[in-house]
């Protein structure tokens, strides 16, 4: 568990939010039989910035899975 931050550093007016934001982030994973399976999730809400821009409420979810393969093949 930790923070996720949004900084208004974009240079393209069409793409940037021009807002400061923050929210929680978390990762959970399980390792078993050479596999790692888990997920990363965070939520960011705007807390300050350009009043002419809409507020930000953005969620990010990323599942992941991977294997280290067979170490004896090296």
Digit-coded pLDDT (tens) for 14-69 = 988 999 999 999 999 999 888 899 999 999 999 999 999 999 999 999 999 998 76
Query: In this predicted structure, what is the pLDDT of residue 72?
Result: 62
In the predicted structure, residue 70 carries a pLDDT above the cut 70:
no
Contact 36/29 with Cβ under 8 angstroms? yes
Average pLDDT over residues 5-20: 92
Distances (CA, A) of 1 to 23, 32, 34, 39: 11, 22, 25, 12
Gap between the Cα atoms of 48 and 22, Å rounded:
10
Radius of gyration over alpha carbons of the chain, in Å? Answer: 18
- Confidence grade of residue 73 (pLDDT, cut at 50, 70, 90): low
Distances (CA, A) of 73 to 23, 64, 66, 68, 70: 43, 24, 17, 11, 6
């Amino acid at each position: 568990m930790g923070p996720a931050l949004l900084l208004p550093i974009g240079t393209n007016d069409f793409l940037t939010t021009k807002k400061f934001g923050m929210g929680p982030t978390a990762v959970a994973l399980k390792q078993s039989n050479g596999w790692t399976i888990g997920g990363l999730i965070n939520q960011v809400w705007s807390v300050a910035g350009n009043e002419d821009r809409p507020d930000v409420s953005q969620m990010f979810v990323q599942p992941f899975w991977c294997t280290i393969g067979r170490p004896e093949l090296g």
